[in-house]
Amino acid sequence: MVTVLGVDACPGGWLAVELRDGRFAQARAVTTLRSLLPVAAAGGVEVVAVDMPLGLLDAGWRRADAEAAALLGPRRGSVFRVPPRAVWQEETYDDARRRCRALTGAGLSRQTWGLAPKLREANACLAEPGGDRLREVHPEVSFRALAGGTPLLARKKSWAGQTARRALLATAGIVLPDDLGDAGRTPPDDVLDAAAAAWTAHQIALDRARPLPDPPEHDAEGRPVAIWH
């Protein structure tokens, strides 16, 4: 049995959707990503796919984000460019913005800086026991793959967008129940994103997924920096 997790950041922490042999098994909300790693190890989880940048470069912008944006076309706005590691080590937005401009020649949006707490948490997990199971994904890239290579035009927070995404997951065999228990308090777009991440995790486990870029870049520790799809 192939068991995987798809994880999305959500209010209060993280939402994890578990698939077993490509089918929905359960969803759980947790406060820290780190808490999922021993659970994954104990449960034989092969891949934990996370919708969060994993792997930071010492200089320049990541190719992964540029290639994902190009792939998504009209949905490219859902991809944030991830600046170098030193930018994320700053304590305030103003300092991070100045460091980003000094290193890249471009500024940093407040929306991108809003990723800082979860991005730092996720990247710290790479060095934890079980961190080798983590892979970066982007839900819109995953949904594009589910749709046969066509980006979805309807926004994920809209009724049309959520209906389309849930239908794509169901067609792939991932039928999300109406009752998710405690996890059901999570916003619906986060549930859909976690499920899409889980689908990609299953593709990775089966060696059917590919990285953006291909081959990946690598961070200072030699870990791949790529978005899988």
Q: How far is CA 35 from the centre of its chain?
A: 17
CA angle 220, 142, 32 (to 5 degrees): 60
With 90 as the cut, is the pLDDT of residue 39 above it?
no
Burial of 2 (0-12, 13-18, 19+ CB in 10 A): middle
User: How many residues are given for the chain?
Assistant: 229
- CB-based contact 61:81 (threshold 8 Å): yes
- Per-residue pLDDT, 73: 93
With 90 as the cut, is the pLDDT of residue 41 above it?
no
- Per-residue pLDDT, 26: 97
In the chain, what is the straight-line distance between the N-terminal and C-terminal CA atoms, in Å?
Answer: 21
Condensed to tens digits (0 to 9), the pLDDT of residues 166-206 reads 999 999 999 999 999 999 999 999 999 999 999 999 999 99
* pTM, entire model: 0.96
Condensed to tens digits (0 to 9), the pLDDT of residues 151-161 reads 999 999 999 99
With 90 as the cut, is the pLDDT of residue 87 above it?
yes
Look-up: residue for tokens 């930071």?
A: 56
With 90 as the cut, is the pLDDT of residue 138 above it?
yes
- Per-residue pLDDT, 42: 87
Strands 23-30 and 13-20: antiparallel
With 90 as the cut, is the pLDDT of residue 25 above it?
yes
